[in-house]
Amino acid sequence: MGIRRVVRIEVLLAIAMMITAFFCIQLSPKQGVIASVIRSDQTIQVEKGDTLWTIASKYTDNSKDVRETIYQLKQINHISDSGDLQPGMTLQIPANLSR
């Protein structure tokens, strides 16, 4: 392989890497977008008699399974056991669930 061909390949690889880096930067989430999603989350206060099922049912549309919403609520609120809900607790409701 000649030196010119090697240089050409290196130049093409460098250009490809720059183009890839440019698109990765352009497609990465912007802080403002993330902040707006976080700010649009809703917090609710658990009331006596509330369960994760009743709360999740209020925020699940008919095309989804309530158990998926319960899973999301447990993840975002760091709840390991569904029986851990106590009146007065505050729960984050993710923006994609808020109605």
What are the residue ranges spanned by the domains of the chain?
Answer: 1-35, 40-99
pTM of this structure: 0.56
What is the per-residue pLDDT for 7? Answer: 81
On whether the CB atoms of residues 94 and 76 are closer than 8 A, the answer is yes
DSSP state of 93: E
> Which of the listed CATH numbers 3.20.20.150, 3.40.190.10, 3.90.79.10, 3.10.350.10 matches domain 40-99?
3.10.350.10
On whether the CB atoms of residues 70 and 93 are closer than 8 A, the answer is no
Residue burial 30-44, b: 16+ Cβ < 10 Å; e: rest: eeeeeeeeeeeeeee
Higher pLDDT, 6 or 12: 12
- 9 pLDDT exceeds 50? yes
Using one digit for the tens of pLDDT, what is the confidence trace for 18-57? 888 777 666 655 544 444 444 457 899 999 999 999 999 9
Instruction: Report the Cα 77 to chain-centroid distance in Å.
Output: 13
On whether the CB atoms of residues 53 and 46 are closer than 8 A, the answer is no
Using one digit for the tens of pLDDT, what is the confidence trace for 51-97? 999 999 998 988 889 999 999 999 999 998 888 899 999 999 987 77
